[in-house]
Chain A
């Protein structure tokens, strides 16, 4: 390697490092502050401003507040429900929109795109009324185990709303992946003896595995970190999610303990980090999914 090549290789690395430093410093601060009484920059200090003051106090919510485990389970429920709902419906709708010609297809495609561009905040009040009505349905409304139901003030209801809001993106993403699967493969499967549903399940879905993985991961992470909608439609503390719990710590009257907020935030982040480590390969494979031969 000549000197010129070395320099050429080093420049992007240096640039990337410089750009990443603020982010890394942020994470380091979170980590340090969760174990300190206070911080001065990146230096942990005690209440008097002297160096030190290391403590597990900020993590005490894990054993002192039983609600945290409730909230964590709710968040997991929400993320799983959201992922299953979005992926299942998007995969079916995307296939239909990609492969089947039916009246209204173009309008539907355009419509979903517009819906996606529509800011969901503006719908909050309207959706509130819808959820309140849904809550009046016996059993289904608020009597279901685990998810609560599909009405107002339930995890299921929030999942329902979030699925609806995420669908446009999911459908378009899935349609794009299906568009790239060759017609010939589908024809071959039809000739080999598949029904349309079986083609979808046995041939098409395995062919777009990277797409499904990507959509699942993004949706799951989106559901895990969701704030606005769970915060709006769930009022009871024991039914809410981590993000809403986190918001609850920033009381309007009492002084805010930022170190504790950092601790809860880190607690929320851990599953996502683990999840990412195991799935990042799939996420990257979206860009390298080409294979030999087929068109």
Chain B
């Protein structure tokens, strides 16, 4: 089932929760709505579910406008952060609840519930009550309840946020595999950029109720459309500082005090002669070595595989990843070699990228 949001807006009194969201989801696609808490992503999801009525705009399933349809007539499955299992029912009753309401014959109901439960590895828990299950098991039941009615669209509202880190990792993979296998169009709300990056075919970044970008994960990472995305996506966050880009002898220099980077012309010319711009570059695009711009090690944070260094050049702190074998200490002098082909430029006033159109 394809999904299309057109100019979707939701206001609660004077509070704007979502404003003019346009989004198209292909059949079988896995789309993540990514953004910080309170950005309007859950509101958007609840409008798709039919729980909230949009203030303006339309929701389309395939070509059909479903604005007026009640949630139960939309054939959707939803998984909640709090699991939202019915505490007074057993796992079996929870799983079969949607089918019971549809008056599915008992035999088929039983068969279907068992099939889904086995698929999720909870087939042996059918007689338990939700209160007797662990968080991970509860989330599987919630997932099962959403899947059992064979929905056209699956909605996830931060389903993994209440799980511990290890379980989250394995569930992430499982949900992704399941979605691929069943081919159900899915919308996944999360504030965790790693979840969005690893699971989604496309990511819609929302901030302050407004859609900031809608593109595949690698594009989001390599071509951030706004300053917000550059800072939000990727860990550690992108290094950003003020610089001025000037043309000198045919080359483009992005300068801030001692920090003088020669940037490739196709990127440099878009940022040149505009006065102060914001320059961004990711930690992994900076190499620590014997050549390059000298700086002083300010903080060393061992991450295991890498050390995360904070290097001070002039008045700018720059995050860099380096080999732990280099054994750097605070106060050491290092040389940074910037891969300027990956450098980003943003307009400080609009916070939009100077390189990539929105």
Contacts and interface: CB of A to CB of B under 8 A. Distances in A.
B87 A193 contact: no
Interface stretch (B94-102, B219-227, B275-283): B94-102
Given A187-B78, A293-B131, A193 B84 contact: no
Contact of A293 (B51, B74, B130, B149): B130
Given A182-B84, A187-B78, A191-B49, A293 B138 contact: yes
Interface stretch (A41-49, A203-211, A257-265): A203-211
B240 to A, nearest CB: 36
Contacts of B78: 187-188, 191
Contacts of A193: 72, 98, 101-102, 149
B228 interface: no
B145 interface: yes
Contacts of B87: 207, 291, 294
A209 B72 contact: no
B82 interface: yes
Contact of B84 (A195, A292, A294): A294
B85 interface: yes
Contacts of B97: 189, 192
A109 interface: no
Given A190-B51, A191-B76, A194-B72, A184 B82 contact: yes
A295 B82 contact: yes
A185 B130 CA distance: 13
B92 interface: no
B72 A188 contact: no
B162 to A, nearest CB: 8
Interface string B58-94: 0000000000001110101110111111111000000
Contact of B135 (A182, A185, A192, A293): A293
Interface residues of A, number: 22
Given A184-B81, A187-B49, A193-B101, A291 B131 contact: yes
B213 interface: no
Interface string B97-122: 11001100000000000000000000
A213 to B, nearest CB: 13
Interface string B272-312: 00000000000000000000000000000000000000000
B46 interface: yes
A198 B78 CA distance: 19
B135 A188 contact: no
B83 A293 contact: yes
- Counting chain A CB atoms within 10 Å of each CB, the highest count among B87, B97, B138 belongs to B87
Given A184-B81, A184-B82, A294-B82, A191 B131 contact: no
Interface string A241-278: 00000000000000000000000000000000000000
- Counting chain B CB atoms within 10 Å of each CB, the highest count among A189, A207, A291, A293 belongs to A293
B77 A191 contact: yes
A187 B72 contact: no
A291 B130 CA distance: 9
A190 B78 CA distance: 10
Interface in A162-191: 182, 184-185, 187-191
Contact of A292 (B51, B77, B131): B131
B71 A191 contact: yes
Given A192-B98, A192-B145, A291-B131, A185 B86 contact: yes
Interface in B15-59: 46, 49-51
Interface in B153-188: 157, 162
Interface in A58-106: none
A167 B286 CA distance: 70
Contacts of B131: 291-293
Contact of A203 (B86, B145, B149): B86
A192 B149 CA distance: 8
Contacts of A184: 80-84, 157
Given A182-B82, A187-B71, A192-B145, 11 more contacts: A185-B84, A187-B49, A189-B86, A190-B51, A191-B72, A191-B74, A192-B72, A192-B97, A198-B101, A209-B88, A295-B82
Q: Which 8 interchain pairs have the tightest Cβ spacing?
A: A193-B101, A184-B84, A206-B88, A192-B98, A188-B84, A193-B72, A184-B80, A190-B71
Interface of A: 182, 184-185, 187-195, 198, 203, 206-207, 209, 291-295
23 contacts: A184-B81, A184-B82, A184-B84, A187-B46, A187-B71, A187-B78, A187-B80, A187-B84, A189-B86, A191-B72, A191-B74, A192-B98, A192-B149, A194-B72, A194-B101, A206-B86, A207-B86, A207-B87, A291-B87, A293-B82, A293-B130, A293-B138, A295-B82
